[in-house]
Chain A
Amino acid sequence: DAGVIQSPRHEVTEMGQEVTLRCKPISGHNSLFWYRQTMMRGLELLIYFNNNVPIDDSGMPEDRFSAKMPNASFSTLKIQPSEPRDSAVYFCASCWGRSGANVLTFGAGSRLTVL
């Protein structure tokens, strides 16, 4: 398996532009997580899907952020409009099930820079 695949790996955009980050989870995994990492705040959980349904989106910072999971093999995180404070590395992770015994596999991340 190729692991969790994220794209793009790097994105530089200007303030006000729409940004779409993509994630392909490991085949067979039915839980998907989006995290954001900054020096100031560390790794923050943004949203968590199980069986393509958002279970917990309490970490989504504001209405400019939205996430979708139209099927088991694809998820997007969209920022519209983007702001400089959104600059961060965004990680996607997947696992099987919701049990505490299951472990997450992370992607390599998408580094976003908003100018």
Chain B
Amino acid sequence: DAKTTQPNSMESNEEEPVHLPCNHSTISGTDYIHWYRQLPSQGPEYVIHGLTSNVNNRMASLAIAEDRKSSTLILHRATLRDAAVYYCILRGGGSGNTGKLIFGQGTTLQVKP
């Protein structure tokens, strides 16, 4: 399974944008880039995912580098509720791939009021 590298922790001020980086230099052409987050005492929840193009949804934006070896999750205005562990994960999309979702250590985001 292709690996991802994320900073252990980041801090942000409330109502400011947050850019969470992820490196995935061994990504294959059929791997999708997924972001999940885990709020305290809850199960992981889906945030956003993409393959090649940048993606936007109501929660966040995903910026994917042209060579796909890195990506950035963008929270446009952080709130206290966004304090969580954010996981960047590659999920294989090729035929015959089992489609496993393997979690790394993630980035713990602290949001200061």
Q: Are B51's CB and A43's CB within 8 A?
A: no
With A106-B43, A108-B43: A101-B51 Cβ-Cβ less than 8 Å: yes
Closest chain-A Cβ to B32's Cβ sits at a distance in Å of: 4
How far is it, in angstroms, between the C-alpha of A57 and the C-alpha of B32 when the chains are bound?
22
B10 interface residue (CB < 8 Å to A): no
Category for how many chain A residues contact B: 20 to 34
Residues of B24-68 contacting chain A, CB below 8 A: 30-32, 34, 36, 42-46, 49, 51
Q: Are B44's CB and A91's CB within 8 A?
A: yes
Residues of B82-105 contacting chain A, CB below 8 A: 87, 90-94, 97-105
* Total A-B contacts with CB atoms under 8 angstroms apart: 67
- Chain B contact residues, majority secondary structure: loop
Q: Are A101's CB and B44's CB within 8 A?
A: no
Residues of B within 8 A of A48 (CB): 98-100
Residues of B within 8 A of A101 (CB): 32, 49, 51, 93
How far is it, in angstroms, between the C-alpha of A44 and the C-alpha of B32 when the chains are bound?
20
Closest chain-A Cβ to B15's Cβ sits at a distance in Å of: 28
Q: Which residues of A contact B (CB under 8 A)?
A: 31, 33, 35, 42-45, 48, 50, 55-56, 91, 93, 97-109
- 4 closest A-B pairs by beta carbon, nearest first, are A100-B93, A106-B43, A98-B99, A100-B32
